[in-house]
Amino acid sequence: MRAPFCSGGALIGAVVLFAGACHPARPSSSVLLSTPPADQLRADITYLAGAPLEGRGTGTPGNDSAASFIARRYSALHLASFPQADRPACAKGGVTGKAECFVFPFVASVAVRNSTPRALKTQNVAALIPGHGPLASEYVIVGAHFDHLGRDSANARDPEKGHVIHPGADDNGSGTIAVLELARRIARHPTSRSVIIANFTGEELGLLGSEQFANHLPVPKEKVQAMVNLDMVGRMKNDKLIVYGVLTATEMKGIVDSANVAPKLNIAAVGDGEGPSDHAAFYRKDLPVLHLFTDLHDDYHTAADVAEKLNIDGIVRVADFTERVVRTLADRPARLTFQRVQTAGANRPSERQGGGAYFGSIPDMAAGDTKGMPLSGVRAGGPADKAGLKAGDIIIKFGDKAITNIYDYTDALGGHKPGDMVDVVALRAGKEVTFKVALTARP
């Protein structure tokens, strides 16, 4: 999951597809379909978040190795590839058996602060599981981004460590392996509508891959029923799963509720279809979306986001729930009724934007319609922590700006600079408390 408006420290590189796909640590191209899901997920994340791939930074050999790995998996599952007119070997599409035909190369324009954009050669990966019956010409898209920060320290939360590997096991190795598992399940028992399996690159640099895919869909947009996105689904605690987008179609909340069967997940449903992940690129095309997420944690965008810390059984539960949702979306006779959700802004917050001021809060991403900006925690030693704010507080005023939602908070923070002293009003146990906060520069 990206931090919105992170434009500095863009990775530079021009690579040949699959150039880095020969690391000795890569798994065999054969897929043991009889392998228990948890074992397969564990093996997949061990590879994707392993040191040889160096964090899968977009435009690096490790990112290309990840794309090659995903493409080989789709070939082994005998999924169908989309025709690509500009690539003779892949012009026909269908079940070609050629892993390279699941790869969609493109040149991304990467914004670089105070400099001209970089042209970056990279790739998405996509496959098709054909549906059956009269609805087969309609589609449900299931996707996740497979890139991460690589050795980029500028966009990391631990820049003091330098150009170390950021494995990105949860962000977003977890979503990637969950999508691979969903592809395996749906291929074994196809749905009425066809299912597009998509893996995006460049999410951490600004939704580059998903916007490329949404702008150049391999099928007519009016034939797409919905898009389901998985990003950071690997750290489930207390059965909690946050699901964004439940109001992007009038029928969506009922579908989500009916998919939550015993043993039930503790689902926090949020209506918004926007946010700093790949579903937003499709929502902006007026398509219903869902985004699944098991919440932020202190290892986010750091070198400590490693495979050993993932809750593999939790990922299996997310896959189970997502499969039920996708099958309902793909098998229901009627189309969804898209609706745009009224929000106060276009992106989820990040303390990397605005004038560079740092507050050190951890927003509660499952807050839903709570008035104000609830906190799930504060960064140790940060300005909010030093001022006395803590988990459970609900910010209702930041300086002279009233805070009614997470967007108001982002705008208010962006209007300040390091060194500003700000009065922050929060609700604590129902009572208003004022904190004097000395904002600093980003760590």
pLDDT tops 60 at residue 353: no
- Residue 154: its pLDDT value, please? 80
CA dist 50 to 55, 122, 155, Å? 8, 20, 20
- Residue 362: its pLDDT value, please? 82
pLDDT tens figures, 61-88:
999 999 999 999 999 999 999 999 999 9
**What mean pLDDT value characterizes the chain?**
88
Parts of the chain belonging to CATH 2.30.42.10? 357-441
- Residue 41: its pLDDT value, please? 97
The dihedrals phi and psi of 212, each to the nearest 5 degrees, come to: -60, -45
* Candidate from 97-101, 209-213, 286-290 with smallest mean pLDDT: 97-101
Helices of type H across 109-225 = 175-188, 208-215
CA distance 369 to 282: 23
CATH topology of domain 37-331: Aminopeptidase (3.40.630)
Measured torsion, CA atoms of residues 237, 241, 244, 250, in degrees rounded to the nearest 10: -160
143 bridge partner residues? 198, 229
Residue with the larger pLDDT of the pair 347 and 406: 406
Mean pLDDT of all residues in 354-365: 75
* Residues 6 or more apart in contact with residue 86 via CB below 8 angstroms: none
- Strand arrangement of the beta sheet that strand 103-110 belongs to: 103-110, 118-129, 194-200, 139-145, 224-230, 289-293, 240-244, 266-270
Highest mean pLDDT among 115-119, 266-270, 311-315, 426-430: 311-315
- Residue 369: its pLDDT value, please? 62
- Residue 33: its pLDDT value, please? 57
CA distance 294 to 282: 21
pLDDT tens figures, 376-411:
888 888 999 999 999 889 999 999 999 988 778 888
- Residue 443: its pLDDT value, please? 66
pLDDT tops 80 at residue 335: yes
pLDDT tops 80 at residue 442: no
Tokens of 286: 């007026």
81 bridge partner residues? 94
Parts of the chain belonging to CATH 3.40.630.10? 37-331
pLDDT tens figures, 253-271:
999 999 999 999 999 999 9
pLDDT > 70 in the chain, percent? 87
pLDDT tops 80 at residue 17: no
CATH superfamily to which 357-441 belongs: PDZ domain (2.30.42.10)
> At CB < 8 A and 24+ separation, what contacts does 309-314 make?
309/169, 309/170, 309/235, 310/45, 310/169, 310/170, 310/173, 310/174, 310/234, 310/235, 311/234, 311/235, 311/236, 311/237, 312/38, 312/41, 312/42, 312/45, 313/38, 314/233, 314/234, 314/235, 314/236
Identify whether the C-beta of residue 172 lies closer than 8 Å to the C-beta of residue 203.
yes
CA distance 244 to 279: 9
Q: Is residue 120 helix, strand or coil? A: strand
3-state secondary structure 288-333: CEEEEECCCCCCCCCCCCCHHHCCHHHHHHHHHHHHHHHHHHHHCC
pTM strictly above 0.85:
no
pLDDT tens figures, 170-184:
999 999 999 999 999
- Residue 343: its pLDDT value, please? 58
Residue with the larger pLDDT of the pair 197 and 6: 197
* Residues 6 or more apart in contact with residue 88 via CB below 8 angstroms: none
pLDDT tops 60 at residue 349: no
Tokens of 259: 């998919």
CA dist 360 to 300, 376, 398, 400, Å? 14, 12, 14, 19
Mean pLDDT of all residues in 341-361: 58
- Residue 414: its pLDDT value, please? 83
* Residues 6 or more apart in contact with residue 92 via CB below 8 angstroms: 83
- Residue 97: its pLDDT value, please? 72
* Candidate from 48-52, 97-101, 124-128 with smallest mean pLDDT: 97-101
The conformational region for residue 262 under phi > 0 = left, psi -120 to 50 = alpha, else beta, is: beta
CA distance 193 to 238: 34
CA distance 400 to 288: 36
Which residue type occupies 172? N
The dihedrals phi and psi of 45, each to the nearest 5 degrees, come to: -75, -30
- Residue 138: its pLDDT value, please? 98
- Residue 381: its pLDDT value, please? 87
